[in-house]
Amino acid sequence: MVRPTHASVDLDALVANYHAVERQLSASSVNPTPRIIAVIKANAYGHGATRVGLALERAAGSGSGSAPILACADIEEGIELRQAGIASQILIFGALGVSDLAGVFDHNLTPTVSSPSAAQALEVAAASRGVRLGVHLKIDTGMHRFGLRYDNLGATLPPVVRATHLDIEAVYTHFATAERDEYGLFNAQITRFETVRTDAQALGLDNVWWHAANSAALLRDRRTWYDAVRPGLLLYGVVPPPIETELALRPAMSVRSRLVAVKGLRPGETAGYGARFVARRPMRVAVVPAGYADG
């Protein structure tokens, strides 16, 4: 049986969105122009990571000419991208303890160091192979998920920077409230990250580059652009609400189906579990074979 419900992904729209972000960065007064770290974690937000990754790799090559960087959640996602033929640098965002570290070395992936124990595990693995491994260092400035606490780096960072088989290529953080900042945390995180940048040399962080901006921060505040930005939702044509933008974005995914039932509702009647929808006027409702028990 062929199901009538399907999702279609428009890779041309995806590429157009990538170039729209690229144009916004290059048209600004920021010099040098920040690089793009394209986020394709969680199967490219459901769009298909391998096909999206290959399309973005081609798009980056045909745009500014700079080598593209792709980012995913874990080592397994990175391996899948490599097996699809993707040659670009691949940054792993997530915790390393859930994966086999051999994949980092066997598939040329760039892991994130977000704890002293992660650094130690990578140092041991790199030393056993006789190689130096490029890594990104994550600083927790207020998200309280992964990363070395910004206010405890004097204790946690020294063993990381002393690791003789690790090269810290970049330092980054992640914003918790870039979309809507009623708590003032967004600006606080910027201030904390700036303090780390100011103290970088004293902390042993020499010749590194910096990144922080997710899609919302990229649109909201150029102070967060630094050396690279990390668009995720924007690439798929989604603007994080309530932010508005003049970027010419196109939805990359469309979902199509057909109706299997149509019926009328009188004013005051409800539809669905919990009676959450109330008809305010005479109207018709339709059932689509998708979702909770195809209702």
For the annotated catalytic residues, the residue numbers are 41, 273
Q: Which of 112, 37, 126, 46 is nearest to 74 (CA)?
A: 112
CA distance 231 to 221: 14
Tell me how far CA of residue 216 lies from CA of 52, 84, 244, in angstroms: 21, 30, 10
The answer to whether the CB of 288 falls within 8 A of the CB of 5 is: yes
* C-alpha dihedral (170, 174, 179, 180), degrees to nearest 10: -130
> Are 56 and 40 spatial neighbours (Cβ–Cβ below 8 Å)?
yes
How far apart are the C-alpha atoms of 45 and 39, rounded to whole Å?
9
Q: How far is CA 178 from CA 73, 97, 251, in A?
A: 20, 28, 22
CB distance 185 to 142 below 8 Å = yes
In angstroms, the CA 90 to CA 205 distance is 22
Burial pattern 68-99, b for ≥16 Cβ within 10 A else e, equals: bbbbbbbbebbbbbbeeebebbbbbbbbbeeb
